[in-house]
Chain A
Amino acid sequence: MFILITGLLLGGTYALIALGLNLQYGVARIMNLANGEMLVAGGFAAFWVYTAGQVNPIAALVIIAPLAFAVNWLLYRIMLVPLVRRAKNRGALEVDSILATFGLSFVFVGLMTWVFGGGYFNYRFLATPVDIFGSSYAQNRVVAFILAVLIGGALWLWLSYTRAGLKLRAVAVNPSSAPLVGIDVTATSALAFALGGAVTAAGGTLVSMFFTLDASVGVLFTMKALIIVIMGGVGDIRGTIVAAVLLGIAETAVARLIDPGLTLAAAYLLFLLVLLFRPQGLFGKAQG
Chain B
Amino acid sequence: MNSASTIPPHRHAPALRQQFLSTEFRRSYGWLTTCMHRLVGCRDDAEDLASSAFTELAEIEAFERIRQPRALLTTIARRLTFEFWRRRDLERHYLEELARQPDYHDASPEDLCLAVEELVRIDAALRRLSVRAREAFLLSQYEGLGYAEIAARLGVSVSMVRKYVAQALDACWPAP
The answer on A and B forming one complex is no
Interface residues of B (CB under 8 A from A): none
Interface residues of A (CB under 8 A from B): none
